[in-house]
Amino acid sequence: MGNQDIERIAIDHVIALERADGREPVDVSTKGYRYDIDSPPRKIEVKAFSGSARGQSIPLEERQLAEAVEDPENFYLYVVDHVGRSEAGMGVRVLHGDALCALLDRAKPSRTYWSTFRVAEYDTAERLQ
């Protein structure tokens, strides 16, 4: 299972949990927002792990950190681990308020450059057996 699959499963799982709690969540992960789910009043960023998130680093983009700092009352970080197992096997940890602030205070910046590996480039790249 790839990273996009893991993230999609996690977002769908969180949306179902939000609906069960009586909110009306909308997936905004591909619409340029600084978070994945708009579930008023919550702005939810989802971080997904195929295994346990316990003791793991949680990567946040600069724009996500900015949103959390600008709107700490409504920004939530949902950490979903054991994604890909049964729904009952997945765990969701919610960071908000003081717990989220403590996590953000420990954040260390790291610059990463992302480039799309285009299909034609992939198809023509040297392949080692």
Is 92 within the bounds of a domain? yes
Is 23 within the bounds of a domain? yes
How far is it, in rounded angstroms, from Cα 73 to Cα 91?
23
> Residue 24 belongs to what domain range?
3-124
Is 100 within the bounds of a domain? yes
CATH number at residue 48: 3.40.1350
Q: Number of structural domains, the chain?
A: 1
Is 89 within the bounds of a domain? yes
Q: How many CA atoms lie within 13 A of 83 on its CB side?
A: 26
pLDDT digits (tens, 9 = 90+) for 83-104: 987 666 789 999 999 999 999 9
pLDDT digits (tens, 9 = 90+) for 30-76: 999 999 999 999 999 999 999 999 999 999 999 999 999 999 999 99
Is 70 within the bounds of a domain? yes
Helical (H) or strand (E) element with 81:
strand 75-81
Is 129 within the bounds of a domain? no
- Which has more confidence, 110 or 35? 35
pLDDT digits (tens, 9 = 90+) for 20-29: 999 999 999 9
- pTM for the full predicted model: 0.86
Report the 10 Å Cβ neighbour count for 59.
10
Is 95 within the bounds of a domain? yes
Mean pLDDT, range 118-126, rounded to an integer: 91
